[in-house]
Amino acid sequence: MNVLKDLLRIKKFREDKAELELARARQNLAEADSKLKIARKELRDFEVACERKERELFDDLYQRLVQLKDLDAVALEIELMKEKKLTYESRINEAQELRLVASEAVEQAKFIHREAVRMREKFSELLEAFNAELFVEVQRQEDLEMEEVSASRHEQNRKNAMLERV
């Protein structure tokens, strides 16, 4: 009986631990989602800024007499913006990868939690069945004792009645 209670307590502990791990995994997923959202917003903001800067550069070129070095400077600036855009895209890819890992961790934690719940429920049912059987056995013992007491009283009454006749 105590063994079953101890096993049930262990199963409950494992279920609680799995639940905590699931909560942590979900928190990590939420953080990964947030990082991905931020990375995407930073890229959009950068693209808008780049478009504006590019328009300004070309507007400046159209309004004055330009030399080859001016064209080279604009081309260099545009190339630097493209390289920086790659950095933002790389951040998005990293954030997507982290989100994928976090999502897989959530799925794994869900599976472990489901298994822990199933095992705890199994041991709860086992303990309930054991307690029910124990209750039936205790009732049977009490009934036997009552019958024994009743038979003993009946025997005592019969002996008393015989003694009174004598």
Confidence of residue 103 (pLDDT cuts 50, 70, 90): very high
- For the record, the structure tokens of 126 come out as 């086992």
Give how far Cα 62 sits from Cα of 55, 57, 116, Å. Answer: 10, 9, 70
Query: In this predicted model, what pLDDT tens digit does every residue of 31-63 receive, in sequence order?
Result: 999 999 999 999 999 999 999 999 999 999 899
Does the structure show a pLDDT above 70 at 11? yes
Confidence of residue 23 (pLDDT cuts 50, 70, 90): very high
Domains of the chain (ranges; CATH) run 2-125 (1.10.287.1700)
Average pLDDT, integer, range 8-14: 92
Q: Which long-range contacts (CB under 8 A, 24 or more apart) does 143-151 make?
A: none
pTM: 0.71
Average pLDDT, integer, range 5-16: 91
Average pLDDT, integer, range 88-97: 97
Average pLDDT, integer, range 151-162: 80
Q: Which helix (H) or strand (E) holds 166?
A: none
What's the mean pLDDT when you consider all of the chain? 92
Write the DSSP symbol of residue 105. H
Residues 33 and 20: their CA atoms lie apart, in Å, by 20
Give how far Cα 120 sits from Cα of 15, 22, 110, 134, Å. Answer: 7, 17, 15, 21
